[in-house]
Structure 1
């Protein structure tokens, strides 16, 4: 049975990823800062992610980084989390999957312009998108870690339904048949679980869009 660690497991995305994995029969350990486990993970460990050690993660075949923060004074932590986790997993066979952002998706086939740098990008989301983009840039430096960065669609819906369907895409902003870049947290968690199961995109950034 594959053992998976989900960091920030009590979060909205993390808890849904835990649910998808447990339902597939994975042995899931959730890590979180709070004492209470609000997930269905079989095991829960209260520990701040910056206090995690190599020994804490040694037994897992997959680690999911579901960390997220929106406060301006903590946005730099997106990069710091990547630095910390890659240092712990460097040179190991443990796969690292990251819940990413959409701002780093490319707006052109030449991959010269990222969504965050386009003229119409919403100003209120710029700082967060830039922090998540910087996190991907940092991640790409680490060839000694088997990472996968999964970007959601531009419209990432917290309370959207689980349709069980999604489009697997790559580095570019992709639209569905209705011309939308949209996906629910629940369908994103489904896509994350599929990638954990299949392992088809090592050292790649992929993206997912709701059908």
Structure 2
């Protein structure tokens, strides 16, 4: 993500607890996420939430992080753009996010997908924040090739012309950076799929 944003001229600052994460951005502030203040974020136009945890005992933090950052950015012009989770989500008629429980949904990813679904539900309550939740396709390939093309979709599971829900990290970073630049989907969840 950093490489894509820096190549477009963005000045990227990373925040994190561990010193070894300093290479994630041009500038780095070693600080626990829950110790951030409004003053820490005052000079930034866009805040990217790339928080991740997979351990069952910490999955609840997905909701806590979304609420914490949304409260810091409430009633400001700053945008909150979230690296969302993959998985099959849809929005029901009452605008509640649901996780599609298909027979082939990998059991080992269900708890994480559910935690991120809960985080998105919580985020939708923050009508005073300019947020965007960007989900990768169901098959998110960290080492996949950069094709330079993607389909931007919404809440519904979207397949490409080959019937795939797949995207590489490189193409996801491209689509994510495009959304940061354009800001066309305020208070929406979008998803990115390989073209």
- What TM-score results when the alignment is normalised by the length of structure 1? 0.86
Do the aligned partners of 1:108 and 1:172 also contact (CA within 8 Å) in 2? no
Aligned to 1:174: 158
2:135 aligned with 1:127: no
Aligned residue number for residue 77 of structure 2: 93
Within 5 Å, give how 1:19-38 maps onto structure 2. Answer: 19-36=3-20, 37-38=22-23
On the 8 A contact 1:103/1:132 being kept in 2, the answer is: no
- 1:18 is displaced (CA, Å) by 1.3
Q: 1:198 is matched with which residue: 182, 185, 188?
A: 182
Unaligned runs of at least 5 residues, structure 1: 1-16
Instruction: Compute the TM-score of the two structures, normalised by the length of structure 2.
Output: 0.93
The aligned counterpart of 2:134 is 150
Large movers: runs of 4+ above 3 Å:
107-116
The alpha carbon displacement at 1:118 in A equals 3.2
Question: Is 2:31 aligned against 1:47?
Answer: yes
Aligned residues: 194
Question: 2:33, 2:153 → 1: CA distance?
Answer: 29
Structure 2: gaps of 5 or more residues: none
- Tell me by how many angstroms 1:112 deviates: 8.2
Instruction: State the shift of 1:120 in Å.
Output: 3.4
Q: CA RMSD in A?
A: 2.0
Distance change in 2, residues 1:170/1:184 (3 Å): same
Structure 1 residue 107 displacement after superposition: 8.9
CA contact (8 A) 2:91 2:155 kept: no
User: 1:73-88 residue pairs with structure 2 within 5 A?
Assistant: 73-88=57-72
Could you tell me how far 1:166 is from its partner in structure 2?
A: 0.5
Against the structure 1 CA distance between its residues 131 and 63, is the aligned structure 2 distance closer, same or farther, given a 3 Å change threshold? same
Partners of 1:143 and 1:111 in 2: how far apart?
13
**Which segment is superposed worse, 155-164 or 128-137?**
155-164
